[in-house]
Amino acid sequence: MTVTRSSLPTPDPNLPRPNDPAAHERLYRSLRSRIMLGELPPGKALTLRGIAREYHLSMTPAREAVRRLVAEGALTLSASGRVTTPALSDERIEELAALRALIEPELAARALPRAHFALIDRLAQMNARIADAVERHDAVGYIRCNLDFHRMLYLRAQAPAMLAMLETIWLQLGPTMRALYGRVKRNEPPRHHRMILAALRAGDEPALRLAVRADVTHGLRHLTST
């Protein structure tokens, strides 16, 4: 029997192809987002087989996505080959928070000259969405909106290398931030966000730096509490 191209079944375009580079990129970005938003708890073990099965892909794109995430510090790889989300020590949390306290005020200050009133209004709307997430006790929604609030401002800094470095820090802190949300009883959005908005409206760079740094260090006190 001769098999012609027309006699072969037509692949479903909605299913990812095992060796499709775009499928690998989507897998990497999906896992990266889940880790940054705290959808995976600290110390959670992952397997290549489990990842491939969940995303209906072969082992090759799963292995490549994990390799990239290990390089970014989003996943840890033990000597035995065990892959887990990071479970950070207090010392590591303090180190990452200190980096945030250095980078984020600088990004905010660089963004200030380009922070027009329309941007400030969008930031205020984002802060309202944070309040909604708090009211719904939506931990992932809270983390997502909080990061979007900061990212929206920092994009105006036009400092892509600095922002990329910061996102790597957020990525490593993601699972721990989710664990923190479960311990801290929030009933309102971060109060330092109101200070950030006020400093932006006033064009006050020292106050903006102070508000952003306070926002970061306030979280540090909760993260390292026992």
- Give the CATH number, domain containing residue 33: 1.10.10.10
pLDDT confidence bin for 113, thresholds 50/70/90: very high
Q: Collect all residues with Cβ–Cβ distance below 8 Å to 64 and sequence separation of at least 6.
A: 24, 28
Is there a contact between 84 and 46 (Cβ–Cβ < 8 Å)? yes
Task: Tell me whether residue 160 is exposed, middle or buried, using C-beta atoms within 10 angstroms of its C-beta: 0 to 12, 13 to 18, 19 or more.
Answer: exposed
Domain that holds residue 135: 90-223
Number of domains within the chain = 2
- State how far the Cα of 113 lies from the Cα of 199, in Å rounded to an integer: 12
Q: How far apart are CA 128 and CA 191, in angstroms?
A: 12
pLDDT digits (tens, 9 = 90+) for 166-203: 999 999 999 888 777 766 555 666 789 999 999 999 99
pLDDT of 84-111, one tens digit each? 998 888 899 889 999 999 999 999 999 9
- Residue written as tokens 């922070």? 115
Task: Please tell me the distance from the alpha carbon of residue 69 to that of residue 25, in angstroms, as a whole number.
Answer: 12
Same domain, 155 and 96: yes
33 and 140 belong to one structural domain: no
| pTM, full prediction | 0.83
